[in-house]
Amino acid sequence: QLQVQESGPGLVKPSETLSLTCSVSGGSITNTDYYWGWFRQPPGKGLEWIAYRYSGGSTYYNPTLKSRITISVDTSRNHFSLTLTSVTAADTATYYCASGRSYNPGVRDPFDVWGQGTSVTVS
Amino acid sequence: EIVLTQSPGTLSLSPGERATLSCRASQGVYTDYLAWYQKKPGQPPKLLVFGPSTRATGVPHRFSGSGSGTDFTLTIDRLEPEDFAVYYCQQYSTTPLTFGQGTRLDI
């Protein structure tokens, strides 16, 4: 059974770079049956999509964050990572990684496997 | 960008009643790629229904989704105490993926 779990620093200073990792278990991150994403939820606010990546490499970013984010994959460790540069207090949130089923280009299910989330405070 | 507007903002009901949640898109959701998630404090979002009427694995039959194009509905029959949470609709047809602002279902 596929599972994902986030890890990260918890506290980041303003203007610094946030790096989060999503560890994948129960399946391979190179399996083209899946795609992988990042989301966040600021305290007291709604959910926001950050980015997602197909196992084949195609990556899509939220335009509001695109200039500051990078998604990378480490196949040897079976994990993928989110890097967010120049953080501000507005980046304080619980960050989630997730996975969904992908069938063909453009044919996919929504994200159905989610990590428990990791809380990040920028201060 | 597809803007999703959920109504009502808050819905106050009692166990055993039926809840009807609405999600309206600013433009047609291609291939009806619309999903509903349940969110409780301290927990990740839980996928309920998608596409827009397919229940996710393990989701009780009292949850049902309907709609097409720009208007979608999540119906919860015979509310159970554990159903009181915040519900989000999400379109996953085009980027940026977007969520509605949420409907809080209060007991």
* A69-74: strand order across its sheet: A3-7, A18-25, A79-84, A69-74
CB distance B44–A116 less than 8 Å?
A: yes
Three-class SS of residue B81?
helix
pLDDT at B31: 85
Position B60 pLDDT exceeds 80: yes
* Furthest C-alpha separation in chain A: 42
What is the spatial distance between Cα B38 and Cα B88, in angstroms, rounded to a whole number?
A: 6
Average pLDDT, chain A: 96
pLDDT at position B97: 97
Q: Looking at the partner chain, which of B88, B96, B99 has a beta carbon nearest the beta carbon of A63? A: B96
pLDDT of residue A57: 87
pLDDT band at A86 (very low <50, low <70, confident <90, very high): very high
Q: Is B60 on the interface with A (CB under 8 A)?
A: no
Judging contacts by C-beta atoms under 8 Å, the chain A residues touching residue B37 are 47
